[in-house]
Amino acid sequence: MYVHVPFCESKCGYCSFYSEAGRFCDVEAWLEALDVEAKKYFDDDKIKLRTLYVGGGTPSTLTLSQWQKLIDILTRYFDFSGLTEATSEANPNSLKPEHVKFLRENNFTRLSLGVQSLNDSELAILGRLHNSRKAFSAMELVRNSGLNLSCDLIFGVPSQSLRSWDYSLKSVMNFANHVSCYQLTLEPDTPLAKKYGNDELNTAGYKFYRYAQYILPKKNFAQYEISNFAPPGFECQHNLAYWHQDNVIALGPSAVSYVDGVRYANPAMLDEYFHAAKNNFPEESRTYESLSPHDRNIELIILSLRTKWGVSRELLTPEVEAKISDMPEDLFIITDERISLSKRGMRLGNSIWSELI
């Protein structure tokens, strides 16, 4: 299950996730709407969940009493007895010791921290509210709590050097047991897009990604997915569910669920979500996309290829096999049973997907 917390302290210059900056007066109304949504769709049978991921937005902007209400709603409608992993996202600027204590006491196992960089001028360019000092104290706080820690880092930031990237990578490895590396991409109309062009950033990103692929495995952080690195056993089970095309229920504005080949998209914005909740989430408040068996299969192939385990050859249609054999050999690792991407293939993932689609 994914729960979308649509609130942030301010909007970062590159962000394309849905969140509202500073509308904290609406948190209680969002919790009430979440209750209505969960009751409408999940009141009948208490679905047993395997993983929980509270993301956003910025979940660490919620107060403890709001967190408690959220947990009360979720436990009212869902069965957590089989939960193997529960993650909350957080930002260094808003994460407090009491959040970490609360998460520990409520059976959370992981915290995913938006570090992004440990270089202050890069953080300022990205429009983040924290500086490197705050990021270090937040990482220390989580490490000392016993929660597993994942850190997000961004590469391809204007003015970023390989030296500063090396510093950010090596520093987070001292605290975390999971690292996610994302290339800075600029969505149209974001403040950063107006200042810099995407083409320039995209070419700049390649060497940083390549360096991450080199340095992280040296410290036992294996690349298990295009953007994700962890020592064996610390992979994010929730995200693996997406890449394995497992069913994922998602609650909150802009959340997208996937159940047995059908994708359900919730109202995209908070006000539309409130309106839907007022009317007890009528059918037309969600959009549905039913994937054909062919599209479902192609999607599963692409999702599986994102991971180091790759895809079982049994899933490949002759058409896909032919397309793969037309591409350069060094993009793939091919065995009798499976096909996965090589390191180089991981770097060129986007071009491979567009060939396969």
Taking the C-alpha atoms of residue 26 and residue 270, their distance in angstroms, rounded to an integer, is 9
Give the gyration radius of the chain's Cα atoms. Answer: 21
In the numeric block, which tokens belong to residue 294? 């062919």
Q: Indicate the residue among 9 and 272 with the shorter CB distance to ligand SF4.
A: 9
Sign of CA dihedral 142, 146, 147, 148: positive
* Distance of closest approach, residue 323 Cβ to ligand SF4, in angstroms: 35
SS (H, E, C) 233-283: CCCCHHHHHHHCCCCECEECCCCEEEECCEEEECCCCHHHHHHHHHCCCCH
27 vs 17: CA distance, rounded Å: 18
Q: Which is nearer to ligand SF4, 93 or 340 (CB)?
A: 93
Looking at the Cβ atoms of 132 and 223, the one nearer to ligand SF4 is 132
Measured from the CB atom, is 18 or 41 closer to ligand SF4? 18
**Under 8 Å between Cβ of 263 and 291:** yes
Provide DSSP, 198-240.
HHHHHHHHHHHHHHHHHHHHHTT-EEEETTEEE-TT-S-HHHH
Q: Which is nearer to ligand SF4, 49 or 103 (CB)?
A: 103
Report the nearest approach of ligand SF4 to the CB of residue 54 (Å).
Answer: 13
- Residue 111 or residue 298: which is nearer to ligand SF4 going by CB? 111
Query: CA angle 286-11-284, nearest 5°?
Result: 10
State the minimum distance, in angstroms, from the CB of residue 154 to ligand SF4. Answer: 9
Secondary structure (3-state) at 72: helix
Instruction: Work out how close the CB of 7 gets to ligand SF4 at its nearest, in angstroms, rounded to a whole number.
Output: 8
Is 10 within 8 Å of 61 (Cβ atoms)?
A: no
Q: How far is the CB of 11 from ligand SF4 (least distance, A)?
A: 5
Q: What's the min distance (Å) between Cβ of 56 and ligand SF4?
A: 6
> Which residue, 114 or 310, is less far from ligand SF4 as judged by CB?
114
Report the C-alpha gap between 179 and 228 in whole angstroms: 6
Contact 170, 119 (CB under 8 A): no
Residue 163 CB, shortest distance to ligand SF4, in Å, is 25
What residues line the site for ligand SF4 (CB under 6 A)?
Answer: 8, 11-12, 15, 17, 19, 56-58, 91, 114
Residue with smaller CB distance to ligand SF4, 8 or 123: 8
Closest to ligand SF4 by CB, 12 or 298: 12
CB 33 within 8 A of CB 86: no
Place of tokens 């210059």: 13
The whole-angstrom separation of Cα 352 and Cα 327 is 8
CB of 156 to ligand SF4, least distance (A): 15
Closest separation in Å from C-beta 63 to ligand SF4: 17
